[in-house]
Amino acid sequence: MKRLVKIAPNLRIIEMRSKDESWRNYRSIGNFTTVPTPTEIEEAKANAPPDSGDTEKEVDLLADEPVLKRVYLERPDTLRALSQTCVAYRGVFLPLLFERLEVCVTTRPGNPTKAFYRHISETMQRKCSGLAERPDLSEMVAKAHVSFTKQNADKVLPTFLRCLENLPNLHTIKVVFAPLSMTTTIKNTFEKVSLPTIRTVVVPAYCHEILRACPEVRSVWCMEEDGGKLVAALGKGKCGKVEELRGCSLTPHMMKRLVKIAPNLRIIEINEGEPDDNLATLKSFKQLHTIDVARSDATRKSGATLDPTAPEVAKTIESARAILKTSPSREKKYLRLCWKHEKDWLAADRAYVCVTILVSPAKDR
């Protein structure tokens, strides 16, 4: 090493080998000077040393609180580590790391124990302030996955809103948790604001005031309650471009309002066992081409599966099939069975079972 210091004083990357034979063929990702091919990545994984295994695991004291589990820290931690490996990796993984503004996950291992509401509040202020100082990173943010708490809400929410207004490529807002008592605070924060870049909003029904600030929204997900407040907010916010609606109960009154507010609805999620009278209203949507029938999580825990022939969903499936057959939409039609989403829902993790509709193929426009 002394000779190496004299010969190569500007050395920046070095690979250390272990005497253990299992390390001999290990190829560190730090040795890649360009972005590796899939074959190279698989080779590195295959030759990596075996996991030493976990010792005694630290208890996650916030596991039962309204925050996402510690496993959700693995993605940003991995992307951050990869982005700091080399220049080529930084160009690939840094945008993936900052694609999401996430303030909804539990504390890290080893951190002092703190109440979830204090942790969320402090994390929100820290991340929003950091993005305000780095416009280059702000341009990478496309999704905001957050939780709201009453801790310093009069300061935290305005800070969050200012952050959203300075994210030019933001298109998705997802609120994982918010207490019902914050409805008025959220309304006062968002009522005179416009976020025209937002295309997807996933919120509990009592966060409906956020929708009024998103006139260009296309996809709306209701995480809690029946969704009536969200539909009303769509009307007040003049969100007439909505094309997808999920998590709402199809009451006749709500559907009549929705037909006027969002006549171009293309995708809708309904609950298993939805009455035929409620489903009949769907015939009013002339652009409808996809119906997802959502099974409740309670049936999932009792052993139910995504079987379209199951007695609990068969009648709903047939009614939805009949509606799609008569839909004048020229798009290819889909009838799918899925599980109702939960607070930790991610689009990539959602399982669908497609059901044959037996309709004529889409006509040329």
In whole angstroms, give the CA distance from residue 124 to residue 156: 7
Listing from the earlier edge strand, what are the strands of the sheet with 244-246?
Answer: 100-103, 143-147, 172-177, 200-203, 219-222, 244-246, 267-271, 290-295, 334-339, 352-355
Residue 341: CB partners within 8 Å, gap ≥ 6?
Answer: 221, 223, 246, 247, 294, 350
Residue 295: CB partners within 8 Å, gap ≥ 6?
Answer: 272, 304, 306, 312, 313, 337, 338, 339, 340
Mean pLDDT confidence for 144-169: 95
Q: Which of 68, 103, 70, 66 is nearest to 180 (CA)?
A: 66
Q: Which of the two residues, 131 and 51, has the higher pLDDT score?
A: 131
- Check whether 46 has a pLDDT greater than 70: no
Check if the beta carbon of residue 191 is closer than 8 Å to that of residue 211: no
pLDDT tens-digit map of 303-355: 778 888 888 888 999 999 999 999 999 999 999 988 876 555 544 455 667 77
Give, in order, the Cα–Cα distances in Å from 72 to each of 78, 84, 97, 269, 285: 11, 20, 13, 26, 38
- Check whether 19 has a pLDDT greater than 70: no
Check if the beta carbon of residue 227 is closer than 8 Å to that of residue 255: no
Rounded to 5 degrees, φ, ψ at 352 are -125, 145
In whole angstroms, give the CA distance from residue 206 to residue 255: 19
190 token code pair: 């968002």
Give the pairing of strands 244-246 and 267-271. parallel
Tell me the domain boundaries of the chain.
2-47, 64-170
Instruction: Provide the strand spans (E) within the chain.
Output: 100-103, 143-147, 172-177, 200-203, 219-222, 244-246, 267-271, 290-295, 334-339, 352-355
In whole angstroms, give the CA distance from residue 47 to residue 69: 30
pLDDT tens-digit map of 186-209: 999 999 899 999 999 999 988 999
Q: In this structure, which amino acid lies at residue 70? A: R
What's this model's pTM, rounded to 2 decimal places?
0.78
H/E run at residue 44: helix 38-47
pLDDT tens-digit map of 106-123: 888 766 566 888 999 999
- Check whether 265 has a pLDDT greater than 60: yes
Q: Any idea of the CA torsion for 256, 260, 262, 264, to the nearest 10 degrees?
A: 100
DSSP string, 79-112: HHHHHTT-HHHHHHHHHHHTTEEEE-B-PPTTSP
Q: Band the pLDDT of 295: cuts 50, 70, 90.
A: confident
In whole angstroms, give the CA distance from residue 214 to residue 220: 11
Mean pLDDT confidence for 98-104: 94
Range among 28-32, 273-277, 284-288 rated most confident: 284-288
Mean pLDDT confidence for 5-33: 48
What is the per-residue pLDDT for 23? 32
Mean pLDDT confidence for 231-249: 91
Give, in order, the Cα–Cα distances in Å from 6 to each of 12, 15, 213: 14, 18, 62
Mean pLDDT confidence for 26-38: 42
Query: Out of 9-13, 26-30, 81-85, 111-115, which region has the weakest mean confidence (pLDDT)?
Result: 26-30
In whole angstroms, give the CA distance from residue 156 to residue 139: 21
What is the per-residue pLDDT for 274? 86
Which position has the token pair 């009024």?
A: 212
Kindly report the number of other CB atoms within 10 A of residue 147's CB atom: 26
What is the per-residue pLDDT for 51? 38
Give, in order, the Cα–Cα distances in Å from 337 to each of 40, 54, 217, 293, 322: 38, 38, 25, 5, 15
Residue 208: CB partners within 8 Å, gap ≥ 6?
Answer: 229, 230, 232, 233
